[in-house]
Chain A
Amino acid sequence: MKLPIFLDNHSTTPMDPRVLETMLPYFVEKFGNAASRNHAFGWAAEEAVENARKQIAKLIKADPKEIVFTSGATESDNLAIKGVLEMYGEKGHHIITSTTEHRAVLDTVKVLEGKGKATATYLPVDKFGMVSPEDVRNAITEKTILISVMLANNEIGTINPVKEIGKIAKEKGILFHCDATQGVGKIPVDVQDMGIDLMSFTSHKMYGPKGVGALYVRKKNPRVRIVAQMDGGGHERGMRSGTLPVPLIVGFGKACELCEQEMGKDTARLIAMRDRLEASIMKALEESYLNGHPTNRLPGNLNISFAYVEGESLLMGMKDIALSSGSACTSATLEPSYVLRALGVGTELAHSSIRFGLGRFNTDDEIDYTIKKVIEIVTKLREMSPLYEMAKEGVDLKSVQWAAH
């Protein structure tokens, strides 16, 4: 076993060596521009891109023509939301989304609100982090033109009832955008069955290269149109100009193909390792709380709050394991995780949360090591924690008058 261990597979994933292998010829040897229609270099590049488009479409049960390449999920979210609003703004400007969306969705909507171009409803989630389809239905107004709800949450892994939401959207004739960044490649996704009209996802979360993603844009029933946010040569059916990064796209395609072929095997392994990690930690450490849905969540996700210890100190105590925390100290905004707060997790427990993100290349040995380390460091830091001491003495921490600063 090699240290450090990478258990932060929600942030990004290592590239699968098989992906790299398929990409290599497209840097030096087959370097053509896929938009060059009049020579062999261009044809080779175009063929590679179209092959990747097929691989990607197959994974999500779409038509290859419905795949628009972007730089990643953030761009796809921006393109979908801004593109729909600009195209259908005459019908209305109301967007329905949820409080636990990724910032790429939330900030895009907020910017549009700030400019007076949109109004938005931010749906709450239940204690497991799930959006209620009925809430979606009730939020719809005559002015609603877009529903944007994520497939699976990046912090807690909870999977939303996307199919039910898609049904409501269809019934009401409203477009449904789904940020499926964390879900595609990990769980089965079928844009037809789920009633999704636009879907964002990205290559580097599924063992492909960074710098390329896609927006699925439905072509039939209904034919969705969006206004391009990048103008230029009219690539990607006019929806996203810019020379296609052929090697990245080839890698993205291969990554999708591998996910499709190996999803069953990967999922079984991940769930076994994740459940063992969860059970071992929870059994050894009292007052550890699972964040997110107990069963309906991504196979590789485990998010736990360890009462009385702070997240960043936990990460610091496990330097040789790459993890992430919902603690304020680890965020750029110096606020504890808004996702955990939206579930109703108390601020102090949000500060105490650790996200374990397991992926294709983690091993049982790594999980054993992690279990041992987590138990060690939580125990050590609790010994050091005045809160733990007080709780042990029977002090109700909620009754204490803290000098907030």
Chain B
Amino acid sequence: MAYSDKVVDHFTNPRNMGSFKKDEEGVGTGMVGAPECGDVMKLQIKVQNDMIVDAKFKTFGCGSAIASSSLATEWLKGKTIQEAQKIKNTDIVQELNLPPVKIHCSVLAEDAIKAALADYQKKADGTTTDAK
């Protein structure tokens, strides 16, 4: 299968690869997928005053999964929580030119965004449960 230039670029030069401490203030962590399915994404956001000031990812998965999460961190930075909620998997598909067989990678990235946002919200609401 041939990969789009953008997938190759994100795979070769991943943006914002790494981790924040999960218990750091303002950090929301989303972890989705399962090792048996061949992909696990961890996406983290750092929020200050409702604004996502930083984002990081780590992904176990194919090149398209890595590219989808790398792109997601790029898009998240500088967005408000409300704006971030609007990122759709179809936007990722379009931007990375993903073939049908790789659409699930974009779905996983959207799920990871949602999970990170929910985790941040939960922490902001005063609960201290760790993200899952």
User: Using a CB–CB distance below 8 Å, which chain A residues touch chain B?
Assistant: 308-310, 312-313, 316-317, 327-329, 334, 336, 346-348, 351, 383-389, 397, 401-405
Which of B33-41, B47-55, B78-86 is the contact stretch?
B33-41
Contact assessment for A403 and B60 in the assembled complex, using a CB-CB cutoff below 8 Å = no
Give B108 Cβ to nearest chain A Cβ, in Å. Answer: 7
A329 to B, closest residue via Cβ: B62
Chain B neighbourhood of A397, CB < 8 A: 35
Q: Other than the known A327-B38, A351-B38, A384-B58, what 9 A-B pairs have Cβ atoms closer than 8 Å?
A: A328-B38, A334-B101, A347-B38, A386-B42, A389-B42, A402-B34, A403-B32, A404-B36, A405-B108
Q: Check A386 against B40 for contact (C-beta < 8 Å).
A: yes
Do residues A348 and B36 form an inter-chain contact, with CB atoms below 8 A? Answer: yes
Contact A316-B63, Cβ < 8 Å, known A387-B40, A389-B19, A401-B132: yes
Pick from B8, B38, B40, B59: contact of A336, CB below 8 A: B38
Is B75 in the interface zone, CB < 8 Å from A?
no
Q: How far is the CA of A336 from the CA of B11 in the complex (A)?
A: 22
Q: When the two chains form the complex, which single residue of B38, B59, B63 contacts A386, counting CB atoms closer than 8 Å?
A: B59
A308–B35 CA distance with the chains assembled, in angstroms: 8
**Interface flag for B31 (CB, 8 Å):** yes
Inter-chain contacts of A385 with B (CB < 8 A): 40, 58-60
Of the residues A312, A346, A383, contact of B62 by C-beta under 8 Å? A312
Tell me which residues across on chain B come within 8 A of A313, comparing CB atoms.
Answer: 11, 61-63, 65-66
Question: B103 an interface residue at 8 Å Cβ cutoff?
Answer: no
B35 touches A402 (CB 8 A): yes
B33 near A348: Cβ-Cβ < 8 Å = no
CA of A384 to CA of B65, assembled, Å: 12
Q: Does the CB pair A402–B60 fall under 8 Å?
A: no
A308 neighbours in B (Cβ, 8 Å): 60
B35 to chain A, nearest CB (A): 4
Instruction: Map CB proximity to A onto B1-36 as digits: 1 under 8 Å, 0 otherwise.
Output: 001000010010010010100000000000111111
Query: In the complex, are the beta carbons of A310 and B33 less than 8 A apart?
Result: no
Q: Are A402 and B33 in contact (CB under 8 A)?
A: yes
Of chain B, the residue at the smallest CB distance from A325 is: B62
- Expressed in whole angstroms, the Cα–Cα distance for A347 and B66 within the complex equals 20
Chain A residues lying within 8 Å of B122, measured Cβ to Cβ, are none
A313 to B62, CA, bound (A): 4
Q: For the complex, give the distance between the alpha carbons of A336 and B62 in Å.
A: 13
A selection of 10 A-B contacts at a CB cut-off of 8 Å is A310-B60, A313-B65, A316-B63, A317-B11, A348-B36, A384-B58, A386-B58, A397-B35, A402-B33, A405-B104
Q: Which residues of B contact A404 (CB under 8 A)?
A: 34, 36-37
Pick from B31, B33, B59, B61 the residue with the most CB of A within 10 Å.
Answer: B61
User: B interface vs A, CB < 8 Å?
Assistant: 3, 8, 11, 14, 17, 19, 31-42, 58-63, 65-66, 101, 104, 107-108, 111, 132
Cβ–Cβ < 8 Å partners of A327 in chain B: 38, 62
CB–CB A310/B62 < 8 A: yes
Cα distance A346–B59 in the bound complex, in angstroms: 19
Cβ A405 vs Cβ B33 within 8 A: yes
Interface contact A309-B38, CB-CB below 8 Å: no
A386 engages B60 (CB within 8 Å): yes
10 A-B pairs with the lowest CB-CB distances in the bound complex, closest first: A402-B34, A348-B35, A386-B42, A312-B62, A316-B63, A386-B58, A351-B38, A347-B36, A329-B62, A404-B34
- How far is A386 from B131 in the complex, measured between Cα atoms in Å? 14
Q: Knowing A348-B36, A402-B36, A405-B104 touch, does A386 contact B62 (C-beta < 8 A)?
A: no
Tell me how far the C-beta of B1 lies from the nearest C-beta in chain A, rounded to whole angstroms: 9
Determine the residue in chain A with the shortest Cβ distance to B11.
A316
| CA distance in complex: A269, B27 (Å) | 55
Q: How many Å from the CB of B55 to the closest CB on chain A?
A: 14
A-side contacts of B42, CB under 8 Å: 386, 389
Complex Cα spacing A383 to B58, Å? 8
**A405 CA to B38 CA, complexed, in Å:** 10
In the complex, the answer to whether A387 meets B33 with C-beta atoms within 8 Å is no
Most chain B Cβ neighbours within 10 Å, of A310, A386, A389, A401: A386
Residues of A within 8 A of B41 (CB): 386
List, in ascending order, chain A residues with CB within 8 A of B34's CB. Answer: 402-405
Q: Do residues A329 and B38 form an inter-chain contact, with CB atoms below 8 A?
A: yes
Known contacts A312-B62, A313-B61; A387 and B35 CB within 8 A of each other: yes
Kindly provide the distance from the CB of A26 to the nearest chain B CB, expressed in whole angstroms. Answer: 36
Residues of B within 8 A of A316 (CB): 3, 8, 11, 62-63
Residue of B whose beta carbon sits closest to that of A397: B35
Q: Residue of B at shortest CB range from A382? A: B60
Q: Enumerate chain A residues within 8 angstroms of B108, measured Cβ to Cβ.
A: 405
Q: In this complex, what residue of B is CB-closest to A402?
A: B34
Q: What is the chain B residue whose CB lies nearest that of A336? A: B38
A383 (CB) vs chain B CBs: closest residue: B17
CA distance A308 to B58 in the complex (A): 12
Chain B residues in 8 Å Cβ range of A347: 35-36, 38
